[in-house]
Amino acid sequence: MYVFGKLFYSSIISFLAGVIFHSMFLPLSLGNTTLFVLLACGATFYLFGNQLIKIIGLILVFFLLGFIRFDTSIDIQQKHSLDYFALEAIEITLEGKITERPIIENSKQSVVVDVDSLVLGDKIEAVDTNMIVRSYEALELEYGQSIRFKTIPQKPSSFDADGGRIFDYEHFLEKDGIYYSGQGSDIEITQPAPRTLISRLYDLKSVLLDEIFKSVPKPESSLLAGVLLGEKTALGDELEEDFRTTGIMHIVVLSGYNVSLVIVAVMIMLAWLPLYSRSIIAVVGIVLFALLVGAGPTVIRASIMALFIVLAKVLGKDYHIERALLFAAALMVMYNPWVLYFDISFQFSFLATYGLIALSPWLEEKLAFIPKTLMLRDSAVATIAAQIMVAPLILYYIGDFSFVSIVVNMLVLFMVPISMLLGFVVAVMSSFTPFIATLLAVPLSISLSYILWIVEFFADIPFAKISINMFSWWWLIPWYLFIFYLVHKDLKN
């Protein structure tokens, strides 16, 4: 088992290292001949060397496999298919299918379109790329519709952010296969959306959101939409900034914490069923919920780990949470290698979860003086463990550090499952038994108002957070080496 663990960690970490190495040096190419020779050397070391040489060979092989996986994900044709029109600022007519649920904010619709045709007069040329189309037209767009529209395609570019930081917008979109953006006009729906599983889930999400906004006043309804369904666009800039200042934004963007609450609720409701039946329903429920809320990195990570828990129970095997976390990361990177280096949410999610796994037992002992009433100790342990791991990355990417986040999380987190449960019941019952939904909307509004009051109160405290200017990513290396040293040496003794 020890040897298996060593091989497991060595291979996956080496694979991730290969992906991130290529990510940092995008144009880098080793050439097919060089890759073949290096792979052959690695395989030879592993097959015929002593124990140390075997490990070196394994690391080399998986590092190169990670390198190759990222290399194969670069689609030059998609990336440059409309460059001429973008450079010359020429308006063109395009056709394609909407591949994500439209985002509506301030009367503006934003949709991601899989463009498959370029219309030039009477001619139609095949195109293969993806772009974000923004429109102020009153036409209601839906996931799965085929549309025709006019636009001047634009290449996304990096721009200045706070504290001297540069936001790499180009690669941020490219990780999702999006290479252009543009203002859409004369939009015409050429084919209605087919009734697929995902479209029906999006319809269900729209219905639930409508019921939430009808049953609960703003801004409480906006908060519930984020907590329950990950819909944070209705929060508004000022309130969203308050959530960031107090370090509680993770409950609004549907973090792993929210997802874990849903999974626990599902398992409790199915406790009366036999293990096998319960497991199948739980797996289906986890997958459907992930699709319903948009399947962001934190949701996918939490869902994969939940699936591993269910599988371990069915097979009667031990559940190794650290291996599950690393394997979940490897699966997500294999599917889309761009998320490892270019998706901040992915990095935050896995580091925060690792912090919870590695630091919680030690912190639980050190914070024994905090009462467990209303989850105060659990909230403090979870917040501090996660912050230790993500603080360096937050300072690097965003430059903000909240001094009040621990207290705010302690005062707020116990109310989140109550708000989610009441919110779900109110949203579902509004159409069937409006009277019961109206009664439950009262305690629901109170719970949400409490969260908002805590957030706004602490956000107004002077020096609730500090902001620092950009610094070199090289400083992250000693910071995390020190953190990992504490985790694997001092804290485990």
Domain boundaries of the chain, sorted by first residue: 2-74, 79-194, 252-330
Cα distance between residue 128 and residue 450, in whole Å: 49
CA torsion sign, 272 to 274 to 275 to 277? negative
Question: CA 472 from chain center: how many Å?
Answer: 25
* pLDDT per residue as tens digits for the range 280-308: 777 777 777 777 777 666 677 777 777 77
Query: Angle formed by the axes of helices 197-215 and 275-292, to 10°?
Result: 70
* pLDDT per residue as tens digits for the range 189-205: 999 888 888 888 888 88
Q: Is the pLDDT of residue 485 over 70?
A: yes
* pLDDT per residue as tens digits for the range 424-473: 888 888 877 878 888 888 899 999 999 999 999 998 888 888 888 877 88
Give the rounded percent of residues in the chain with a pLDDT score beyond 70: 88
Question: And the tokens for 282?
Answer: 């739980």
What's the confidence (pLDDT) of residue 153? 92
Sorted by sequence, the CB contacts under 8 Å of residue 446 that are 6+ apart come out as none
What's the confidence (pLDDT) of residue 179? 92
* pLDDT per residue as tens digits for the range 318-343: 667 788 888 888 988 999 999 899 98
1 pLDDT band, cuts 50/70/90, is: very low
Q: What's the fold here for domain 79-194?
A: OB fold (Dihydrolipoamide Acetyltransferase, E2P) (2.40.50)
What's the confidence (pLDDT) of residue 392? 87
Total residues belonging to the chain: 493
Smallest Cα–Cα separation from 62: which of 25, 5, 1, 8?
8
| Mean pLDDT of the residues in the chain | 82
Question: Residues 101, 294: contact at Cβ < 8 Å?
Answer: yes
Mean pLDDT, residues 90-109 taken together: 86
What's the confidence (pLDDT) of residue 338? 92
**pTM of the shown model:** 0.83
Mean pLDDT, residues 421-425 taken together: 84
Q: Which of 41-45, 110-114, 200-204, 359-363 has the lowest mean pLDDT?
A: 41-45
Mean pLDDT, residues 149-175 taken together: 84
Q: Is the pLDDT of residue 180 over 60?
A: yes
What's the confidence (pLDDT) of residue 317? 66
Question: Residues 130, 114: contact at Cβ < 8 Å?
Answer: yes
Q: Is the pLDDT of residue 70 over 80?
A: yes
Supply φ then ψ for residue 181, to 5 degrees. Answer: -140, 165
386 pLDDT band, cuts 50/70/90, is: confident
Q: Which of 110-114, 128-132, 378-382 has the lowest mean pLDDT?
A: 378-382
Between these two residues, 30 and 416, which has the higher pLDDT value? 416
Mean pLDDT, residues 275-284 taken together: 75
Question: Residues 151, 182: contact at Cβ < 8 Å?
Answer: yes
Mean pLDDT, residues 56-70 taken together: 86
Give the rounded percent of residues in the chain with a pLDDT score beyond 90: 11
Q: Is the pLDDT of residue 4 over 60?
A: no
Smallest Cα–Cα separation from 260: which of 301, 288, 205, 316?
301
